[in-house]
């Protein structure tokens, strides 16, 4: 004690020295801890940013795939106007893409959106521009999307990133190139968020291939000159050597395993130092970099040292809390980005990418039914009431689908446009079909929105895992086959069976043959004469025929529906009109009418009326000799439009005949509203009149009403003398059938009448 009292100052200094040493030790650990915390925080931001960049670029690649498929559909890419329409439609649907282009293999921009046709970018040649040549050639050789160099667009006054992809056919042969451009600030919004909310951070992306910035750091992001600066190989090699030494592994391993690296380096175009974190995105050959000025570390250390003396434990509690808040916020942002990437923005239903990821993890799922739901004629809702109304209808359809499936273990997703997928687990085949019936019933109820009343229906294709297939992709494909069959009748469901697949492939093969047949003029017309009750020739009905070298004779009821479903009907219809009028012009008997059948799709196609009159003028046939034959199914499409068209034909002196009366939706009350000249009784009525008294009475009523309205009656399918005599007694004026004539080429008819 005496020693201590005598050496109190020595003890004080020893204590002070020990305390100072301890304080220095704690400060060093604090400095190391702060440095480590900053590194982890920065690497976390790097990881999240990389995930966001990858997700966004995949989304844009998907947009290119969608555009490519739409342009491939019916070879739309060969038609400039259709290509522009598809680009405009996708550009309207996309919230972030800046522009879309169709590019040929010579580097010329062939088509862009309708509002950008006159801009200079559309005339640029990508192969002749040294800034785009390398990435364009890479696009030609790659199956994946290729990201071009960032450039400043003076016409858009923005920094633009181009993304290009080669679209190939089923055999892998390149057909054309599609491209889209994105504005850095609008197309990659998380960069704007990072710049706005994290003042200390700079996030950038640079290209592995050519060492140019893809997105520059925030202090230089809007400087076009920065994107012309290419990092020197020496500087890159210095960084590689440093990282390999610091992480004790090769640079290729770091890239291959996608390891986030962090080190202190000099800033780009600056003498100050920063902490730099890097992450390599192999899929797009891009480096994501996040840098932070090292003064942040010094500032945090000074604050910690200032508060450490009095608030050592409190300071650490606060820091821990702060980091916990930061981590929580970043996690929420990541979850939101993930949700947006896997869910439809309009309906909030899971999207097709969610389905693909979900079922990639459930390949061993014991049992589920996949219901592919496709709305019938949904386009009419958008065309008649606008896309905003169509969006409201889609939201209501979503609500009804959820209502239909709420008592079952189901996953409802929006696959695309007006297509939905319902995956039903643990249901029997019977229960799955009852579910389909419930969905059809709910969907077909009237839609009363915005003062409008709309009636819609849907078609559903159903397949089962594992009975039909074991993988989700295959089950989905088989459901699509079943849906294709259901679309023939609409407002129904079809369960997959092997015959559907064969029928679909047969139809596809026949469709291709039909396209060739139209070009090669394999399709021809014959004429079936119509005679009066006195057996005098009064008219000729044009009938289409097709004799294919591979399939032989193909009946119209086989290839006409294929033409209608594939969009070939307008082209085929024009061909039939031209052929019919050309052949009929050879038959000059003035009192003999010429009847030409018109399909629904042809009747509603643009320019049909004008084309018909043009061909009539070229054939020089008297219009008063002509009749167009339409079916009653036309009138359930758009009655006002049909009536307007009929009146236009009658104004030109062309008669109108209603074919197949009584086989579909028609009723006697319909006749009073139709300005038709002729009514054709279907063969199904004629077949029964000999034995069936009720059929004769019904036919008598139809004929009497038609006569009172001034409508001529033509009986089809007359095959016996007895049928002809009964029809004659009932008051039928014109007959057509094998009893009189079979369909013949016009030259044979001319020869028979000589």
User: Could you tell me if 101 and 180 are in contact, meaning their C-beta atoms sit under 8 angstroms apart?
Assistant: yes
Segment 249-285, tens digit of pLDDT: 998 898 888 899 988 776 555 556 788 889 999 988 9
| pLDDT of the residue at 665 | 47
| pLDDT of the residue at 311 | 54
Q: What is the mean pLDDT of residues 716-725?
A: 90
User: Could you tell me if 185 and 167 are in contact, meaning their C-beta atoms sit under 8 angstroms apart?
Assistant: no
Name the band, by pLDDT with cuts 50, 70 and 90, for residue 12.
very low
| pLDDT of the residue at 2 | 45
Phi/psi for 655 (5° steps) reads: -80, 160
Segment 147-160, tens digit of pLDDT: 999 888 877 788 88
Tokens matching residue 178: 């599609």
Tokens matching residue 469: 């297939």
- Give the DSSP letter of residue 297: H
User: Could you tell me if 456 and 425 are in contact, meaning their C-beta atoms sit under 8 angstroms apart?
Assistant: no
| For residue 248, pLDDT beyond 80 | yes
Phi/psi for 428 (5° steps) reads: -75, 170
Surface-to-core class of residue 21, CB atoms within 10 Å of its CB (0-12 exposed, 13-18 middle, 19+ buried): exposed
CA distances from 257 to 247, 281, 458, 753 (A): 13, 10, 48, 86
- Rounded to the nearest angstrom, the gap between the alpha carbon of residue 13 and the centroid of all alpha carbons in its chain is 80
| For residue 238, pLDDT beyond 90 | no
Rounded distance between C-alpha atoms, residue 457 and residue 441, angstroms = 9
Phi/psi for 129 (5° steps) reads: -85, 120
Q: What is the mean pLDDT of residues 437-458?
A: 86
| Percent of the chain whose pLDDT exceeds 90 | 16
- Give the DSSP letter of residue 633: G
| pLDDT of the residue at 1 | 47
Q: Identify which of 253, 743, 322 has the alpha carbon closest to the alpha carbon of residue 545.
A: 743
Name the band, by pLDDT with cuts 50, 70 and 90, for residue 18.
low
Q: What is the dihedral of CA 637, 640, 644, 645, to 10 degrees?
A: 0
Q: Identify which of 527, 535, 492, 466 has the alpha carbon closest to the alpha carbon of residue 724.
A: 535
Phi/psi for 637 (5° steps) reads: -85, -60
What are the strands, taking DSSP E only, across 115-240?
A: 146-147, 151-153, 158-168, 174-183, 201-207, 213-215
Q: Identify which of 269, 219, 211, 301 has the alpha carbon closest to the alpha carbon of residue 30.
A: 301
Segment 185-237, tens digit of pLDDT: 777 766 655 544 455 778 889 888 888 998 888 778 888 888 888 888 888 88
Phi/psi for 496 (5° steps) reads: -60, 140
Report the relative pairing of strands 523-532 and 493-495 from DSSP bridges.
Answer: unpaired
| pLDDT of the residue at 327 | 59
- Give the DSSP letter of residue 740: T
Name the band, by pLDDT with cuts 50, 70 and 90, for residue 320.
low
Segment 508-554, tens digit of pLDDT: 788 888 888 888 888 899 999 999 988 889 999 999 998 888 778 88
| pLDDT of the residue at 423 | 92
| pLDDT of the residue at 690 | 86
Tokens matching residue 447: 């839609």
Rounded distance between C-alpha atoms, residue 696 and residue 726, angstroms = 8
| pLDDT of the residue at 462 | 92
Q: Give the SS3 label for residue 153.
A: strand
Segment 103-141, tens digit of pLDDT: 999 889 888 888 776 554 555 788 888 888 888 999 998
Rounded distance between C-alpha atoms, residue 461 and residue 239, angstroms = 57
Beta partners for residue 541, in sequence order: 528, 595
| Percent of the chain whose pLDDT exceeds 70 | 87
Q: Is the dihedral of CA 323, 328, 334, 340 positive or negative?
A: negative
| pLDDT of the residue at 4 | 46
| pLDDT of the residue at 634 | 62
Helical H segments across 523-635, by residue range: 556-566, 569-584, 600-603, 608-619
| pLDDT of the residue at 534 | 87
| pLDDT of the residue at 697 | 87
Tokens matching residue 618: 């070229």
User: Could you tell me if 401 and 422 are in contact, meaning their C-beta atoms sit under 8 angstroms apart?
Assistant: yes
Rounded distance between C-alpha atoms, residue 394 and residue 558, angstroms = 34
| pLDDT of the residue at 13 | 53
| For residue 11, pLDDT beyond 50 | no
Report the relative pairing of strands 174-183 and 201-207 from DSSP bridges.
Answer: unpaired
156-160, 291-295, 566-570, 573-577: which has the highest mean pLDDT?
573-577
Q: Which residue would you say has higher pLDDT here, 313 or 650?
A: 650
Segment 621-642, tens digit of pLDDT: 988 999 998 877 666 556 677 7
For residue 466, whether the previous peptide bond is cis, meaning omega lies within 30 degrees of 0, is: yes
Rounded distance between C-alpha atoms, residue 167 and residue 177, angstroms = 6
Name the band, by pLDDT with cuts 50, 70 and 90, for residue 37.
confident
Rounded distance between C-alpha atoms, residue 491 and residue 374, angstroms = 10
| pLDDT of the residue at 400 | 92
| For residue 450, pLDDT beyond 60 | yes
| pLDDT of the residue at 527 | 92
Least confidently predicted of 203-207, 555-559, 606-610, 672-676:
672-676
Q: What is the mean pLDDT of residues 596-621?
A: 86
Q: What is the mean pLDDT of residues 373-383?
A: 80
Q: How many residues does the chain have?
A: 754
Q: What is the mean pLDDT of residues 92-106?
A: 85
pLDDT averaged over the chain? 82
Q: Which residue would you say has higher pLDDT here, 66 or 231?
A: 66
| pLDDT of the residue at 353 | 87
Q: Give the SS3 label for residue 194.
A: helix
- pTM of whole model > 0.85? no
């Amino acid at each position: 004690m005496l020693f201590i009292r005598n050496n109190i100052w020595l003890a004080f200094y020893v204590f002070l020295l020990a305390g100072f040493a301890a304080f220095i030790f704690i400060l060093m650990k604090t400095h190391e801890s702060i440095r480590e915390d900053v590194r982890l925080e920065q690497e976390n931001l790097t990881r999240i940013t990389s995930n966001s960049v990858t997700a966004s670029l995949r989304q844009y690649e998907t947009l290119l795939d969608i555009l490519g498929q739409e342009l491939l559909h019916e070879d739309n890419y060969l038609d400039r106007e259709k290509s522009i329409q598809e680009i405009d439609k996708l550009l309207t649907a996309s919230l972030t893409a800046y522009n879309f282009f169709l590019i040929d293999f010579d580097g010329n921009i062939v088509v862009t959106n309708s509002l950008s046709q006159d801009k200079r970018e559309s005339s640029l040649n990508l192969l002749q521009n040294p800034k785009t040549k390398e990435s364009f050639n890479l696009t030609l050789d790659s199956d994946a999307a290729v990201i071009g160099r960032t450039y400043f667009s003076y016409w858009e006054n923005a920094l633009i990133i181009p993304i290009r992809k080669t679209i190939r056919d089923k055999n892998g042969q390149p057909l054309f190139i599609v491209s889209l451009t994105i504005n850095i600030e609008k197309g990659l919004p998380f960069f704007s968020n990072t710049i706005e909310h994290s003042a200390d951070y700079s996030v950038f992306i640079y290209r592995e291939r050519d060492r140019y910035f893809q997105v520059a750091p925030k202090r230089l992001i809007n400087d076009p000159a920065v994107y012309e600066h290419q990092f020197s190989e020496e500087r890159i090699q210095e960084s590689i050597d440093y990282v390999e030494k610091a992480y004790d592994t090769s640079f290729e391993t770091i890239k291959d395993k996608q390891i986030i690296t962090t080190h202190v380096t000099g800033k780009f175009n600056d003498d100050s130092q920063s902490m730099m974190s890097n992450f390599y995105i192999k899929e797009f050959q891009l480096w994501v970099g996040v840098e932070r000025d090292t003064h942040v570390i010094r500032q945090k250390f000074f604050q910690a040292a200032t508060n450490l003396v009095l608030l050592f434990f409190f300071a650490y509690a606060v820091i821990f809390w702060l980091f916990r808040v930061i981590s929580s916020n970043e996690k929420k942002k990541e979850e939101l980005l993930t949700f947006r990437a896997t869910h439809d923005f309009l309906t909030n239903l899971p999207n097709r990418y969610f389905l693909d990821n979900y079922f990639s993890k459930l390949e061993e799922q014991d049992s589920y039914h996949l219901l592919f739901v496709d709305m019938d004629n949904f386009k009419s809702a958008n065309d008649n009431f606008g896309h905003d109304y169509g969006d409201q209808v889609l939201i209501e359809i979503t609500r009804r689908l959820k209502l239909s499936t709420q008592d079952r273990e189901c996953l409802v997703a929006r696959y695309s446009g007006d297509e939905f997928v319902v995956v039903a687990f643990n249901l029997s085949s019977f229960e799955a079909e009852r579910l389909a019936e419930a969905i059809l019933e709910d969907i077909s109820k009237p839609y009363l929105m915005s003062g409008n009343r709309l009636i819609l229906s849907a078609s559903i294709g159903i397949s089962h895992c594992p009975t039909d297939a074991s993988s989700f992709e295959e089950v989905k494909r088989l459901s699509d086959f079943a849906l294709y069959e259901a679309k023939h009748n609409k407002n129904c469901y079809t369960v997959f069976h092997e015959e559907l697949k064969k029928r679909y492939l047969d139809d596809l093969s026949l469709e291709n043959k039909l396209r060739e047949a139209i070009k090669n003029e394999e399709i021809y017309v014959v004429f079936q004469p119509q005679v009066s009750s006195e057996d005098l020739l009064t008219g000729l009905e044009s009938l289409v025929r097709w004799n294919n070298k591979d399939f032989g004779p193909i009946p119209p009821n086989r290839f006409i529906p294929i033409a209608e479903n594939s969009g070939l009907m307008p082209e085929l219809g024009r061909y039939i009109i031209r052929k019919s009028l050309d052949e009929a012009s050879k038959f000059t008997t003035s009192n003999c009418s010429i009847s030409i059948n018109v399909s629904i799709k042809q009747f509603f196609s643009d320019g049909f009326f004008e084309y018909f009159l043009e061909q009539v003028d070229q054939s020089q046939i008297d219009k008063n000799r002509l009749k167009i034959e339409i079916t009653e199914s036309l009138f359930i499409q758009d009655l006002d439009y049909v009536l307007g068209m009929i009146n236009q034909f009658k104004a030109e002196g062309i008669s109108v005949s209603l074919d197949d009366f009584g086989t579909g939706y028609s009723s006697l009350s319909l006749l009073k509203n139709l300005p038709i000249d002729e009514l054709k009784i279907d063969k199904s009525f004629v077949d029964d009149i000999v034995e069936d008294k009720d059929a004769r009475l019904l036919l008598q009523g139809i004929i009497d009403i038609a006569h009172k309205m001034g409508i001529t009656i033509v009986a089809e399918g007359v095959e016996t003398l007895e049928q002809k005599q009964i029809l004659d007694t009932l008051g039928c004026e014109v007959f057509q059938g094998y009893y009189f004539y079979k369909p013949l080429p016009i030259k044979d008819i001319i020869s028979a009448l000589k």
